[in-house]
Structure 1
Amino acid sequence: MGGQYRITGDKYPRMRQRRRRGRLVFAVVASIAALGLVGWGTLQLIDVFSGGKKAAAAGTEKACPATKASPAARTRTLPRPGDITVNVYNATARTGLAKQTADELRRRGFRIGDVGNAAKEFDKKVKGTGILLGPASALNTSLPVLATQLAGAEPRTDAARKGAALDLVIGDGFKALTGKPAADQALTKLTAPGTTAVTSKKSC
């Protein structure tokens, strides 16, 4: 070309090369973007699956149970010695035991009924410390209270027996009533075995 637009020198504009560079840059950017999307999608999938497992595991975990108080030992409602009438009978060959025993029980707060020798069914036939006899309703009420006064005595009930009074039949093995301090301690333990609830703790 000549005139005003004459080109000199040995370098010429290369329009095609610029187009190739543009395409190359676009391809590189697109590839990077695609790889980024693929990586992001992969991370999302991993998170979904791993998160789902964790959620499932969390769902199967047992909730920490609420702290519970173990049932407190209930105070037994038993009759007081002053509410119990005791008949004292001597089934041994030793004289005076029935009266002595009855007097001591009276001093300990029991009401005393009949005092004397035992009936034929028991006379000279009780080898142990003694027999405590009462109606069926006394098995878990007044009989245990009287039993605290004579360790080793055999408790018995008679369904046909009338009234609430108890019989203390003194046997050959009898020496004396249980000492008052020990009897009082046994009575306290019997009537109030414990009233405090124990709280059980469990770590989660």
Structure 2
Amino acid sequence: MSMLTPPGMGGKYRVTGTTFPRMHRPSNRRRIVLSAVAGVIVLGVVGVGTAQLAGAFDGNGSGRDTAGHCPSSAVGTKAADATSARLPKPSAVTVNVYNATDRAGLAKTTADELKKRGFSIGKVGNAPDAYNNKLKGTAILLGGPKATSALKVLGTELAAGSLKTDPSRASASNVDLIIGSAFGTLDPLQNAGHALTVLQQPAPTPSGKTCRPSGRT
């Protein structure tokens, strides 16, 4: 019996020989696989965090500011201000008032009312032959290609009037109001004032991007 055999143990449990059995450590393959998976997860988390941080500082990422709040409608406000700046004031619009009906004095009374509302008045009288006693509608607002803004401002005084462009006219501020047989009076002052306000301050145009609230107060 060998000296390494514990007392009372023999037979198939007997240890013989002078060489100790070699004890191998478990394979490292499992530990390597787990380490690789953990490394991939860490890199993924770091990548997502970096992308979010970059988006917080650029102007095209999430549509929020660095505090996580949706931006104000500054762009829409600037657009409205630009539109208002392009529109002339009533005093900068010269209106020639022509009567295409057989009702005497209609051009004069209309011109006087437009003057009270701030417009500059040019010529007042009967309509040219092309329109005189031939205009069945309410009125025609006539101006050159550059007078689009002036016509829009004048149009706030008469919602039923129709706009017409004369390519031969070069002025941007001189326009005609030709009164037709269906004309009664200018729109009420309150309605005209509201229409002018809406014209000067149009609703902001959506940018096409949706900003979602961050859920914070």
Normalised TM-score (structure 1): 0.74
Unmatched 5+ residue regions in structure 1? 1-12
- Seen in structure 2, the aligned counterparts of structure 1 residues 105 and 15 have a Cα distance that, compared at 3 Å, is same
* Higher relative contact order, chain-length normalized (CA < 8 Å, sep 6+): 1
> Aligned to 2:5, what secondary structure does the other structure show?
helix
Partner of 1:6: none
Q: Are 1:149 and 2:164 matched, yes or no? A: no
Residue by residue, what CA displacement relative to the aligned partner does 1:42-91 show, whole Å, maximum 9, x if unpaired? Answer: 13313414643774698589755242556314222211111111000011
Partner of 2:80: 74
Take 1:104 and 1:80, find their aligned partners in 2: how far apart are those partners?
A: 16
Residue by residue, what CA displacement relative to the aligned partner does 1:20-51 show, whole Å, maximum 9, x if unpaired? Answer: 48966x64xx24xx12xx2x531331341464
C-alpha RMSD over aligned residues = 3.5
Take 2:203 and 2:62, find their aligned partners in 1: how far apart are those partners?
A: 24
Take 1:145 and 1:177, find their aligned partners in 2: how far apart are those partners?
A: 13
Per mean C-alpha deviation after superposition, the further-off stretch among 83-92 and 191-200 is 191-200
Q: Are 1:48 and 2:57 matched, yes or no? A: no
Structure-to-structure mapping, 1:125-136, within 5 angstroms:
125-136=134-145
Q: Which structure 1 residue ranges, 4+ long, deviate > 4 Å from structure 2?
A: 21-24, 53-64, 194-200
- Seen in structure 2, the aligned counterparts of structure 1 residues 201 and 89 have a Cα distance that, compared at 3 Å, is same
Which letter does structure 1 place at the counterpart of 2:32? Q
Partner of 1:17: 5
- Seen in structure 2, the aligned counterparts of structure 1 residues 82 and 16 have a Cα distance that, compared at 3 Å, is closer
* Bigger strand share: 1
Structure-to-structure mapping, 1:32-43, within 5 angstroms:
34-35=25-26, 38=27, 40-43=28-31
Unmatched 5+ residue regions in structure 2? 7-13, 56-60, 65-70
> Aligned to 1:74, what secondary structure does the other structure show?
helix
Count, aligned residues: 183
Q: CA deviation at 1:14?
A: 4.6
User: Sequence identity, in percent?
Assistant: 37
- Seen in structure 2, the aligned counterparts of structure 1 residues 14 and 55 have a Cα distance that, compared at 3 Å, is closer
- Tell me if the contact between 2:80 and 2:200 (Cα under 8 Å) persists in the aligned partners: no
- Tell me if the contact between 2:141 and 2:162 (Cα under 8 Å) persists in the aligned partners: yes
Residue by residue, what CA displacement relative to the aligned partner does 1:130-152 show, whole Å, maximum 9, x if unpaired? Answer: 0001111011x111000000112
Task: Indicate the structure (1 or 2) with the bigger Cα radius of gyration.
Answer: 1
- Tell me if the contact between 2:93 and 2:175 (Cα under 8 Å) persists in the aligned partners: yes
Take 1:151 and 1:173, find their aligned partners in 2: how far apart are those partners?
A: 13
Q: Are 1:171 and 2:199 matched, yes or no? A: no
> Aligned to 2:104, what secondary structure does the other structure show?
coil
